[in-house]
A and B are shown apart, each in its own frame.
Chain A
Amino acid sequence: MATFQFDLCELPPEAESLRGEVRQFLRENLKTAAISRSRSWGGFDREFSRKLGARGWIGMTWPKKYGGHERTFLERYVVMEEMLAAGAPVSAHWVADRQSGPLLLRFGTEEQRERFLPAITRGEMSFAIGMSEPDSGSDLASLRTRAERVAGGYRVNGSKIWTSNAHKSEYMIATFRTATDPKDRHAGLTQFLVETKSPGITINPIIDLTGEHHFNLILFEDVFVPEEMRVGAEGAGWAQVTTELAFERSGPERYLSAMALILELVRAAGPDPTERQAIAIGRVMAHLNTLRQLSLSISGMLQAGQNPNLEAAVVKDLGTTFEQEIPQIAHDVLGLEPSPGTGSQLHQVLAYLTQSVPSHSLRGGTREVLRGIIARGLGLR
């Protein structure tokens, strides 16, 4: 049977000294209240991303010739976990740093890398993810939005949905169907860089249940995408999109997204908690510490040049389950009425996270899809 190997990863001294710099930066540049911090990596602040870019904390592992900093995955890990633990508004560069940039590094043309990567590292260019369609969610290979060859490029017709921050992003990397093979659904998919302001694109907001606008429905009507914006070979999209999803699942954001509520819970319990509160907090800490070691282990595998796709699925499933427990635990031990927009920071954070955590085991691959991947790793599929 396949066993999941999680070797412990020790952070090197240079990563730990970087941590001090990051904390200092956050003390100076992040003065928001807990309710803002509870947005975690959903908070969008282009100015904040520019500052991070200026510090060299975007595209950290990328080659210097593309504006990167050639630092280790472990140093990048430290910056990520410090941003997440503080609830910094990192969404303006998060997707590009995590998956769009690495995808271009791996599969893009030299011209694409030179054009896009430096702007990403400066925190000046945001990317959206063009995967899901109205009829294609977990079953991603069923997607139908077509890119047809025309002179000098492709003409795109169809739609993409759940596209977070498309309305604030300059570009998206989208996967379209360039051919249909009735015998092989995974064939005929191709990835493209699409400028969100292209003629023929309509971005319609979808308001989520917390009342906020992150999601969009994007309609493509005869949208022209130039040949040089194709990423990788025609038909290579499935292999690339699964690689991109592995990037998407491998980071510490999959267990730290409810950090603001953990901190408010500890604050509310005070220095002398009841037995019930102490046990609840202790259990949260046991999970938090263990998830951090698991997540660090994945960074160690990335640093060693391995592909921890399976391990990332395991940690994302464990991590999002943990995040989703936090509002339940806070409810159980504090019994407060959640209060959106008014009341203490605790009331507001509880209100926000109670409503937002259901999305954590949907985004980036549902729990059910991940468990299918894990079962395959166990040899059951």
Chain B
Amino acid sequence: MLGDVSTRLFTDLVTPELIADAEKGEWPDALWRAVEENGLTLPLVPESKGGAGAAWGNVFVLVAAAGRHAAPIPFAETIVASWLLSEAGLGVPEGPLTIAPGGADEWLQLERAGDEWRVQGTAKRVPWGASAGHVVVVGESNGTPMVGLVARGAVQAAPEKNLALEPRDTLSFDGTPAVAAAPVKLPLDVVRTYGALVRSAQMAGALERMLALSVKYVTERKQFGRPIGNFQAIQHQLALLAGHVAAAGTAADTAFRAAERGDLRYEVAVAKVRTGEAAGLGAGIAHQVHGAIGFTYEHSLHFFTRRLWSWRAEYGAEAHWAEELGRAVAQRGPAELWPYVTSR
């Protein structure tokens, strides 16, 4: 249901022109408002607080749809941010939200000053860090993990971008006042884990679209008197891509199911490694079968490949998550390997 609504909406509104304008720095306000008005941005917030009251397992299709359409808004970030606020018992403001910190060794502090909370520390490459209405931060206060809500403009932002020209701004919190803050029973690196979770779904969606674009192109493009999709060399490349797409979708879907159980780190690692690998190999195949036209800005393929090349590195690249996964497996030892796999 949520998936159908989001797919219809993204199909109607996310045009190549809209993505290109967003890459020039234009905020796609109509798209955002449509997504928000259709109740898609707060799937995990309880219905009593204005959300959809859904579970993580239902969110995969939503986030994958955003990736499938390269929607240039902090949609996945808002879903995670609003969930974090709800987990901390805080109200969710309207408008786009983002999350921080997502880096490997980034930690923020929250300090009480009178009757308000202040945030200290640096968070690099925060999606729409300067333009989102609020930043939802996770940090610690005397050893307790806290969720804080910081309004746009309250924090100093240095603009940067990823390959898809999505904003990835460095935020310098310097005793920045939080609108609200509350303790939460979540680990301090929760943003990185859930960031990796949603990126894996976005990648799965983008990979699906890349396959669809590739199949369409090789069916239409003729060389040597016939569609290039008639050539076995092309067919086998796309069959290989289809395999990566299937694996990426299943890995990401499985991680969302684990998130619903609340014990997701293993599956997130699996998903980020597998979708990241599919992203790199898949983008290579898609560009090869598209030939030179796929290397132009005019063709839409790059909206997906440039995202995949960035998303696979965000919130931990394959090597990062694979190392964590490998160390955990090695620690448990060979006798526990298979029992652990089947227990998940």
Contacts and interface: CB of A to CB of B under 8 A. Distances in A.
A18 to B, nearest CB: 12
A378 B238 contact: yes
B113 interface: no
Contacts of B212: 1
B52 interface: no
Contacts of B236: 368, 371-372, 375
Contacts of B142: none
Nearest to A16: B342
B269 A19 contact: no
A380 B232 CA distance: 9
Contacts of B251: 286, 289-290, 293
B235 A371 contact: yes
A275 interface: yes
Binding site of B, secondary structure by majority: helix, strand, loop or mixed?
Answer: helix
A280 interface: yes
B239 A282 contact: no
B88 interface: no
A318 B243 contact: yes
B338 A286 contact: no
A266 B219 CA distance: 45
In the complex, which range does the number of interface residues on chain A fall in? 35 or more
B293 interface: no
A270 B216 CA distance: 48
Given A287-B274, A375-B235, A266 B247 contact: no
Given A6-B250, A279-B322, A374-B243, A286 B238 contact: no
Nearest to A19: B342
Interface residues of B, number: 53
Interface in A326-372: 368, 370-372
A379 B229 CA distance: 9
Contacts of A273: 326-327, 330
Contact of B250 (A263, A270, A279, A297): A297
Interface of A: 1, 3-4, 6, 8, 19, 81, 85-86, 259, 262-264, 266-267, 269-273, 275, 277-283, 285-294, 297, 311, 314-315, 317-318, 368, 370-372, 374-375, 377-381
Given A281-B326, A282-B273, A381-B235, 13 more contacts: A1-B211, A6-B246, A266-B334, A279-B322, A283-B277, A289-B254, A291-B247, A293-B254, A318-B246, A318-B247, A372-B236, A377-B242, A380-B230
